[in-house]
Amino acid sequence: MRHRQADSKLGRNTHQRQALFKQQAGALILNESTKTTLAKAKLLVRLMDKLITQAKKGSLASRRRLLAFLNRRPVVHKLVDDIALRNKTRTSGFTKLTRLGVRRGDNAMIARVELIDPKPQPKKEAKK
């Protein structure tokens, strides 16, 4: 029976699903924005909430736990040293999900997942 099962399987087995979200989480951390289907985006938002909360602890053990999951050192460094520090006062809701419409080929709903506090861009001076 399917009582109280929260996660969607997305038509994949466990290892494929885990690999998919490792890659999507890494891409979101590096690029601070990613575009995917709505079902994957909803699960990615939940995962990122957990990863950023873990990164905010900043301890060596939490870094190692993140590295064990993400498997890429530059991604973990950016997550702990940059993104977690920008979200120090925030307790949850680190990402924003925006629906973009449907994909032309298969009519799947597409969504953009972004980090809430983007890196401040240097201001360009207006030409006079």
47 found inside a domain? yes
CATH number at residue 80: 3.90.1030.10
d(CA 115, CA 97): 9
> Residues 6 or more apart from 91 whose CB is under 8 A from it?
none
3 found inside a domain? no
d(CA 12, CA 81): 33
2 found inside a domain? no
End-to-end, the C-alpha distance of the chain in Å comes to: 69
pLDDT value for 120: 64
pLDDT value for 3: 87
Q: What is the pLDDT along the chain (128 residues), one digit of tens a residue?
A: 878 887 789 889 999 999 999 999 999 999 999 999 999 999 999 999 999 999 999 999 999 999 999 999 999 999 999 999 999 998 999 999 999 999 999 999 999 999 997 666 667 787 77
d(CA 82, CA 100): 28
d(CA 92, CA 50): 9
77 found inside a domain? yes
Domain containing 58: what range?
A: 15-115
76 found inside a domain? yes
Give the global pTM: 0.86
| Cβ atoms within 10 Å of 98's Cβ, excluding its own | 12
124 found inside a domain? no
39 found inside a domain? yes
pLDDT value for 82: 94
Written as six digits, the tokens of 127 are: 């030409």
pLDDT value for 8: 86
pLDDT value for 78: 95
Phi then psi for residue 75, to 5 deg, are -65, -45
108 found inside a domain? yes
Q: How many domains does the chain have?
A: 1
pLDDT value for 118: 61
